Chain A
């Protein structure tokens, strides 16, 4: 059974750094793209980018290039989404998903990130 389990909710202050995680199981992690999707409060889904753990190939959505960093630890079957300096506008639920070209076929449960002074 394919599962993606994300790390827990975070509360941070503006300017702080953060790395959230997504652990995959039930599929070949190094042969699968992991996508990250943002959902701001009351808003729609936004594709942030995707990471291929097998060769570290990375693709970013145009609004997220330079704003976040995607990575993974193959030995842990875990993907990461990282910010170096959070802003209040980063407050959102972040989902990871297993991404095949045409779709995100499995989703994590989501991680709520709250950035507030």
Chain B
């Protein structure tokens, strides 16, 4: 059970859209609609941004959206803002009834 693979860093200018990928396998991302995304600012606990692939918890901006295609999930942030600069992690339920996180992506707002 290996960590899901994310790009180490993604950057964009204010107002632009960026997409973060999360590559898994048929034992996790490709097996269930149980993919989630978390935002973590330095020194803070992670915050759930997307759950069950496409759903946003109450209070999360609709600038954040999620999707999957096969064994790869994606998080898109539209209308990039300075406050979006943070680390982002994907996560997925697995065939072993456990959970696995992605390797993490640092988002920089230029």
Chain A residues contacting B104 (CB-CB under 8 Å) are 44-45
Chain A residues contacting B57 (CB-CB under 8 Å) are 105
Find out whether the CB atom of B99 lies under 8 angstroms from the CB atom of A47: yes
Count the A residues whose beta carbon is within 8 Å of the partner chain — how many?
Answer: 25
Chain B residues contacting A99 (CB-CB under 8 Å) are 99
Interface residues of B: mostly helix, strand, loop or mixed?
A: strand
Distance between Cα atoms of A47 and B45 in the complex (Å): 14
Find out whether the CB atom of B101 lies under 8 angstroms from the CB atom of A44: yes
Contacts A101-B34, A103-B36; A61 near B3 (Cβ below 8 A): no
Interface size class on chain B is 20 to 34
A104 interface residue, CB < 8 Å from B? yes
Please report which residues of chain A, range 73-117, place their CB below 8 angstroms from some CB of chain B when the two chains form the complex: 95, 99-110
Find out whether the CB atom of B45 lies under 8 angstroms from the CB atom of A107: yes
Q: Which of the listed residues B3, B97, B101 has the most CB atoms from chain A within 10 Å of its own CB? A: B101
Find out whether the CB atom of B1 lies under 8 angstroms from the CB atom of A104: no
Find out whether the CB atom of B93 lies under 8 angstroms from the CB atom of A102: yes
Residues on B facing A (Cβ under 8 Å): 1, 3, 32-36, 38, 40, 45-48, 51-52, 57, 87, 89, 91-93, 97-104
